[in-house]
Amino acid sequence: MNKVVSSFNVAACVLAACLYASQSAAERVADDGEHVRKVTIGMGNFEPYFVERNQSGIFADLIREIFSEIPNAEPAFVFGHSNNSLLANYNAGRLDAVANLFDSADIDTCRSDPVFRFRDVAITLAEDAISISTVSALKGKSIVTFEGARNFFGSEFSQLIDDKHYQEVGKPELQAKILFSLRYQVSVGDLFIFLNAKKKLEQRAHSLSEVVVHDIFPKIESRMGFKDAALCQTFNAALKKVRESGRYEAIYSDHLQALTAK
């Protein structure tokens, strides 16, 4: 009899756990008794903006901070998407929202106010003592950059390129390694991606030269995309609070400090 009761109790516990897990995947109950909606958000696949191994990164931290101002909703991240798979999964109904949505993306969604910020820069080795104050000053320099940069930065950039001394790479994190190998004078691309790659090289016991950052490109911003227009507007209001409080800039500052700390 005891064995039968014990088996029944185990089965009941397993069933209850499964029911709870199923319920919590869509929503949970907050302390005030209100149901908290899980918002499934498609996330990218490049560090340090998206860090899948610990569900973090600059953009994940920004989203969590903004959702902290939305009492009855919380983010559920799905990392690892390329830009194409992000849009495909959203259009197929497998995601409630997408992160890092550019205005050029062809997608039927409620676009939030600008949320995410990239900082494209030119980076040189300090020992080379190269002065770059404008995009035109890149003329005559050997350049390594990311795939598609020729079109991305526009005609001024593309016209000054010398194809014999210019390389685009499919993985932007390789630019740091290539610059430090002394094959090119300038790396052009996102500051945080470069610094993250540099940090990893240093962790492998490499002794690296100091670098100089030349801030010559305008900032680039992207948005969130939501299926739920009401949540989109609520998100915008929460974003405004986070910006006004200083927490938005603090997230970028904290990540920059972590990437540059010795």
- Tens digits of residue pLDDT in 142-152: 999 999 999 99
Please tell me whether residues 65 and 100 are part of one structural domain: yes
Please tell me whether residues 227 and 158 are part of one structural domain: no
Please tell me whether residues 103 and 194 are part of one structural domain: no
- The residue segments making up the domain with residue 243 are 2-117+220-260
pLDDT in tens, 90-119: 999 999 999 999 998 889 999 999 999 999
pLDDT, tens digit only, all 262 positions of the chain: 444 434 434 444 433 443 333 333 445 555 555 689 999 999 999 999 999 999 999 999 999 999 999 999 999 999 999 888 999 999 999 999 999 999 988 899 999 999 999 999 999 999 999 999 999 999 999 999 999 999 999 999 999 999 999 999 999 999 999 999 999 999 999 999 999 999 999 988 777 889 999 999 999 999 999 999 999 999 999 999 999 999 999 999 999 999 998 7
The CATH number that applies at residue 248 is 3.40.190.10
Please tell me whether residues 45 and 104 are part of one structural domain: yes
Total number of domains constituting the chain: 2
Q: How far apart are CA 79 and CA 147, in angstroms?
A: 22
Structure tokens at 139: 């003329």
Q: Which helix (H) or strand (E) holds 189?
A: strand 186-190
Please tell me whether residues 72 and 153 are part of one structural domain: no
Predicted TM-score of the model (pTM) = 0.82
* Whether 180 contacts 244, CB under 8 Å: no
Instruction: Using alpha carbons only, give the angle 57, 60, 63 rounded to the nearest 5 degrees.
Output: 150
Judge residue 178's burial from the number of C-beta atoms within 10 Å of its C-beta, 0-12 exposed, 13-18 middle, 19 or more buried. middle
